[in-house]
Structure 1
Amino acid sequence: MRKTRFAIAAIAATAALTLTACGGDAGEGEGEDTVRIGIKFDQPGLGFKDGDTYKGFDVDVAKYVANELGFTEEQIEFVSAPSANRETMLQNNQVDMIFATYSITDTRKEVIDFAGPYFVAGQDLLISVDSDITSPEDLDGKNLCSVTGSTSAQKVKDTYAAGVNLQELPGYAECTTQMSGGTIDAVTTDDIILAGLAAQPAYQGKFKVLGEPFSEENYGVGLPKGSDRCEAINAAITKMIESGEWETALKANTEGTGYEPNAELNPPTPAACA
């Protein structure tokens, strides 16, 4: 009986050592069922849910980074991450990371961590291709649209065109619909968001990004405070840039808009992790 017990114990110990040895070479994502990534579901060209498909530049960067961390595409669970909820979602462990036009700011860094940046955007204007607007100063007396709660349109009024007429609507889709109908002269937000709107089939050849950005927004990967993934994510972003896949993804999601990112700022160099 004692021999039987010893034999069983020996077999169990051998099995445990075998499992440990097999697991020693596992990538970061191996052994984890899924990675939950927050993105926008309603931002064409960046993060957009189309049925069961997710599209956009943020989505492409997220997939590349996840793969470098050891997760297959099937292991990614995309989660809607509205702007107002992003910090809360990270703090409450609702997502593991966020790629959602998430500007790196000192205020946000007090409660969450960031990897990146993986893109540097700038506030710009979306106008019709035959518009006479050449700068934000030309908006005096014209109708400018942005989404409710955004500070973008007010910034134009305060800094560039005191006589502009501001129109706030629930989403950028409503802004572009009204501009297509002629009641809005321009839409303002980050340039890459505008490029995504202009790339929609209904607006190709009708709208363009002005191409004169007047701010700087560093898009980072939002992480829970104290996350140990920052350096691995930065390495993945750097690899994507150096391989040319970053540029391929950007062009694929802004094609036909005339949009060119600021070459002095893009592609960016990820900052050192805190």
Structure 2
Amino acid sequence: MRFSRVLRTGALVAAVGLTLAACGQPNSEEDANKSLVQRAEDNGALTIGVKIDQPGLGLKKPNGSYEGFDVDVAKYVAKELGVEEGDIEFVETPSAQRENMIQKGDVDMIVATYSITPERDKAVDFAGPYFLAHQDLLVREGDNSIQGAEDLNKNKKLCSVKGSTSAQNVRDDFAPNAQLQEYGGYSECLTGVENKAIDAMTTDDTILAGYAAQQPGKFKLVGAELSNENYGIGLRQGDSEGKQALDEAIQKMIDSGEWKKAAQKHFGPAGYEVPEPPTVGEVVE
């Protein structure tokens, strides 16, 4: 397998600084260089990057709240760091901006279907993995022209998201001749499949299952396991204390049964068979 007149300006800057501190974002170089554990303890708050358009994983609801498996994982590990749900600020983290947002200190950590890869590991550190997914294909219900990756080379239009490992896998490996379209978000890809501007959408099976479950009878998963996607929690590179604390929190979630409970809650309705939890600290290639 494969694998964000002088006195008035000064007051505004001060207010912004206080707001960022309250949200758990670093407001000084000293704070930015603290471990995740220390920042959580000092600020009593965390800023966590998530996706906002992935049903079942990370979805922002009309009332402003967030739900999904990744969100549940984020809440659980934050609580293990001493931060309650009400003191978490969730921030959207587009795939192509994740490393930059961690490095700039815009977020304390990212829990957003963030696959652990050697390339990303050069820029940020990862805790976990906390889930093992597989890249798959989503097509319109009734369209049998795509049975596997090889069919994508037959002049098929394929959609993925900019900055995702799925897009890179398409280019480099299983369908180099596919007409790859890279959009900013998964919802745009789904719209393209629905209106027949796109033949198939590719990303992790967990994400595709969430979208398929929202509109029963409209879409289906092909069932191709095109790669292993080890979801990890991204954090600042070199933060060994933070990584260890997150690894321990993930393991506790698994051992307590809360991991399985959350996975079944968010993936079960789509008919997705929840796999066994991964081994923390072991990346499956």
Q: Is the 8 A contact 1:211 1:259 kept in 2?
A: no
Take 1:157 and 1:225, find their aligned partners in 2: how far apart are those partners? 28
Residues 106-150 of structure 1, C-alpha deviation per residue, up to 9 Å, x if partnerless? 232233221111112221101233332321223324332223465
Question: Structure 1 length normalisation: TM-score?
Answer: 0.77
Residues 69-125 of structure 1, C-alpha deviation per residue, up to 9 Å, x if partnerless? 221111111122222222222222222111112122223223322111111222110
- Give the secondary structure class of the aligned counterpart of 1:231: helix
Give the match for residue 187 of structure 2: 173
Take 1:112 and 1:147, find their aligned partners in 2: how far apart are those partners? 20
With over 3 angstroms needed to count, the CA separation of the structure-2 counterparts of 1:172 and 1:91, relative to structure 1, is closer
One of 43, 46, 53 as aligned partner of 1:42:
53
One of 191, 197, 211 as aligned partner of 2:205:
191
With over 3 angstroms needed to count, the CA separation of the structure-2 counterparts of 1:225 and 1:204, relative to structure 1, is same
Tell me how far 1:174 sits from its aligned partner: 2.1
With over 3 angstroms needed to count, the CA separation of the structure-2 counterparts of 1:224 and 1:161, relative to structure 1, is closer
Give the match for residue 119 of structure 1: 131
Tell me how far 1:57 sits from its aligned partner: 1.4
Tell me how far 1:232 sits from its aligned partner: 1.8
- Give the secondary structure class of the aligned counterpart of 1:122: strand
Q: Is the 8 A contact 1:204 1:256 kept in 2?
A: no
Q: Is the 8 A contact 2:149 2:175 kept in 1?
A: yes
Counterparts in 2 of 1:1-274, with a 5 A limit? 29=40, 32-50=43-61, 51-132=63-144, 133-139=146-152, 140-148=154-162, 152=166, 155-156=169-170, 159-161=173-175, 164-200=178-214, 203-227=215-239, 228-260=241-273, 263=275, 266-271=276-281
With over 3 angstroms needed to count, the CA separation of the structure-2 counterparts of 1:165 and 1:93, relative to structure 1, is closer
Take 2:230 and 2:258, find their aligned partners in 1: how far apart are those partners? 19
Take 1:230 and 1:84, find their aligned partners in 2: how far apart are those partners? 22
Q: Is the 8 A contact 2:251 2:280 kept in 1?
A: yes
Q: Is the 8 A contact 2:95 2:162 kept in 1?
A: no
Structure 1: runs of 5 or more not aligned = 1-26
Residues 40-76 of structure 1, C-alpha deviation per residue, up to 9 Å, x if partnerless? 2233322222232011211111011111222111111
With over 3 angstroms needed to count, the CA separation of the structure-2 counterparts of 1:157 and 1:141, relative to structure 1, is farther
Tell me how far 1:249 sits from its aligned partner: 1.6
Tell me how far 1:153 sits from its aligned partner: 5.1
Question: Structure 2 length normalisation: TM-score?
Answer: 0.74
Q: Is the 8 A contact 1:208 1:258 kept in 2?
A: no
Tell me how far 1:154 sits from its aligned partner: 6.6
RMSD: 2.6
With over 3 angstroms needed to count, the CA separation of the structure-2 counterparts of 1:43 and 1:231, relative to structure 1, is same
Structure 2: runs of 5 or more not aligned = 1-36
With over 3 angstroms needed to count, the CA separation of the structure-2 counterparts of 1:155 and 1:237, relative to structure 1, is closer
With over 3 angstroms needed to count, the CA separation of the structure-2 counterparts of 1:221 and 1:153, relative to structure 1, is closer
Identity of aligned residues (%): 54
- Structure showing greater radius of gyration is 1
Which has the larger helix fraction?
Answer: 2
